[in-house]
Amino acid sequence: MVANTLHACAILLKKYQDWDWFINLSASDYPLVTQDDLLYTFSDLKREFNFIEYSSRLGWKEGQRAMPLIIDPGLYKTTKSDIFWVSPKRALPTAFKLFAGSAWMILSRAFVEYCIWGWDNLPRTLLMYYTNFVSSPEGYFQTVACNAAEFATTVINHDLHFISWDHPPKQHPHNLNINDTSRMIASGAAFARKFRRDDPVLDKIDKELLRRKNGSFTPGGCVPAD
């Protein structure tokens, strides 16, 4: 997942110049605001801001994710396989501090360039470390940003996503439905996840939040209302 995200970032840097932020989304995400509203909101923000949910309090993740060594066959095989653990466990790193958080984020162009080009080698070092880390997308970018002096002060501790977890939390978040609509709206988030394909709540979002009609595009600066 981290490798795929970095690959997408590299392609974006190579092919396009006129952009300020990289937003990673999945097929289970859905917008809660129109593109025009999002552009308007971001137009007044400093371009160096990064929206990354993070915490240095790893809790149970310290013993179950940071210390175990794992082998991920997905790095060298074309078919999906389960990861497997090897021994002994490793000690926590001393050269950098570990952070964890959401796998969904909005990254500034400057930070993306740093992750791809890594002029002080920190991104590459952490990429090798997180190769043997369970759920690396929930730690790699947080750890890079918070350990790099020039980016640590640019991180906004929010991923701009509405995500509803079961209690106690399971491996994946709760699938959102009609009953979650009011909480999604009240959250002020730009995106929400996870949704089942063609769930009725998506039509409700289209109608009430995005003002889409009959499956058409959302009206905006590039798409007229009529």
- Each domain of the chain, given as residue ranges in start order, spans 2-208
> Can you give the pLDDT at residue 221?
59
- Per-residue pLDDT tens digits of the chain, which is 226 residues long: 898 999 999 999 999 999 999 999 999 999 999 999 999 999 999 999 999 999 999 887 887 778 878 777 777 777 777 777 778 888 889 999 999 999 999 999 999 999 999 888 999 999 999 988 888 899 999 999 999 999 999 999 999 999 998 766 666 788 999 999 999 999 999 999 999 998 999 999 998 899 887 766 676 655 555 5
> Can you give the pLDDT at residue 224?
52
> Can you give the pLDDT at residue 31?
95
Of the candidates 55, 29, 51, which has an alpha carbon nearest to the alpha carbon of residue 162?
29
Report whether 178 contacts 205 (CB < 8 A): no
> Can you give the pLDDT at residue 170?
65
Whole-prediction pTM:
0.87
Report whether 19 contacts 12 (CB < 8 A): yes
Bridging pattern class, strands 21-23 and 69-71: unpaired
